[in-house]
């Protein structure tokens, strides 16, 4: 599990449709830029969760961003919400490059990147799905990936436990903020190096939400200058950096990383 340290969940009672709509608004510019058609099917009834709306919106925005990036221009992206017994089920599907059967079991592994040219082009750090899975699991849910194979699109299915209706003695729909602490250690100093600025910013925000001290650089030269003053415990480096690639940067900075 990537979630070591502290993940703060600001839980409240909220309709999952509100969370998904917030994610759609965040991802809409990327979807529109690629000329995709987005179809949204909401549940006919409110599906209430006890959840952190910002963290879950980050999960769905990540899934939508991936759908937009891995689908050729003018493709189809779908979002559907339904109730299955005591679960809210959210499906994010696309008509994109798909996932081959041998890669499906690895798709949520940290640092995993696909083998095709398109996957390598958009692979970045390969951490987004790992973090999305961890946030969902911290909410007591699950996320699975499905695909009929390369070139046949993909679907990510998130299942989250529904909240019970508030009792008559409970006059508020929210509860105090909860902090989930895994090991109680002090924040880890992390440097993220990725030339994809949007992806680096998203990863920085998620890691900061877990209580870590995170700095960002977008190329090898600035990363080395950053580490002279901010000595990290961990450096997350994109292998496909321009000029100085991730392997070369790692060889230079590894001796300086504080263990």
Domain segments of the chain as ranges: 6-161, 186-256
DSSP 202-214: HHHHHHHHTT-EE
Which residue carries 């699991």 as its tokens? 137
| Alpha-carbon gap, residue 193 to 236, rounded angstroms | 6
Please tell me if the domain spanning 6-161 has the same topology as the one spanning 186-256: no
- Pull the structure tokens for residue 214: 């995170």
- Cα angle 241-234-158, degrees, rounded to a multiple of 5: 80
- What is the per-residue pLDDT across 92-111, written as a single tens digit (0 to 9) for each? 999 999 988 888 888 887 55
Query: Tens-of-pLDDT digits for all 259 residues of the chain?
Result: 333 345 667 889 999 999 999 999 989 999 999 999 999 999 989 999 999 998 899 899 989 999 999 999 999 999 999 999 999 999 999 999 998 888 888 888 755 555 444 444 444 444 578 888 988 999 999 999 999 988 899 999 999 999 976 644 443 443 443 434 334 457 888 999 988 887 788 788 878 877 889 999 998 888 888 887 888 888 888 888 877 877 777 776 666 565 5
Please tell me whether residue 51 adopts helix, strand or coil conformation.
strand
Identify the residue whose tokens are 């190329």.
Answer: 219
Please identify, in words, the CATH class of the domain defined by 186-256.
alpha beta
Per-residue pLDDT at 140: 93
pLDDT score for 36: 96
Closest CA to 59 of 82, 81, 92: 92
28 to 23, 35, 85: CA distances (angstroms): 8, 10, 31
pLDDT of 255: 60
Sign of the four-CA dihedral 111, 114, 115, 117:
negative
Residue given tokens 């409970």 in the structure block: 170
Predicted confidence at residue 172, as pLDDT, reads 40
Which CATH fold topology does 6-161 show?
A: Heat Shock Protein 90 (3.30.565)
Q: Give CB contacts under 8 A, 24+ apart, made by 238-243.
A: 238/124, 238/125, 238/193, 238/194, 238/195, 238/196, 239/113, 240/120, 240/123, 240/195, 241/193, 241/194, 241/195, 242/195, 243/219
Query: pLDDT of 121-140, one tens digit each?
Result: 444 444 578 888 988 999 99
Per-residue model confidence (pLDDT) at position 185: 58
């Amino acid at each position: 599990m990537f979630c070591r340290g502290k993940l703060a969940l600001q839980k409240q009672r909220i309709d999952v449709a509100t969370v998904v709509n917030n994610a759609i608004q965040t991802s809409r510019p990327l979807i529109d830029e690629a000329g995709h058609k987005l179809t949204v099917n909401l549940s006919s009834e409110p599906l209430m969760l006890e959840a952190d709306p910002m963290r879950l919106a980050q999960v769905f925005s990540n899934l939508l961003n991936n759908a937009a990036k891995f689908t050729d221009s003018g493709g189809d992206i779908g979002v559907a919400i339904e109730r299955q017994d005591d679960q809210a089920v959210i499906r994010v599907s696309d008509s994109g490059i798909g996932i081959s059967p041998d890669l499906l079991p690895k798709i949520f592994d940290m640092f995993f990147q696909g083998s095709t040219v398109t996957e390598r082009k958009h692979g970045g750090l390969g951490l987004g799905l790992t973090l999305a899975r961890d946030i969902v699991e911290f909410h007591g849910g699950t996320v699975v990936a499905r695909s009929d194979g390369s070139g046949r699109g993909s679907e990510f299915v998130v299942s989250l436990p529904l909240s019970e209706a508030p009792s008559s003695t409970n006059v508020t729909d929210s509860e105090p903020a909860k902090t989930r602490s895994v090991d109680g250690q002090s924040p880890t100093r992390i440097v993220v190096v990725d030339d994809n600025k949007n992806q680096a910013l998203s990863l920085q925000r998620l890691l900061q939400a877990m209580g870590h001290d995170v700095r960002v650089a977008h190329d090898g030269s600035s990363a080395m200058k950053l580490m002279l003053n901010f000595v990290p415990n961990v450096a997350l480096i994109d292998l496909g950096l321009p000029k100085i690639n991730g392997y070369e940067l790692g060889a230079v900075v590894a001796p300086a990383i504080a263990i």
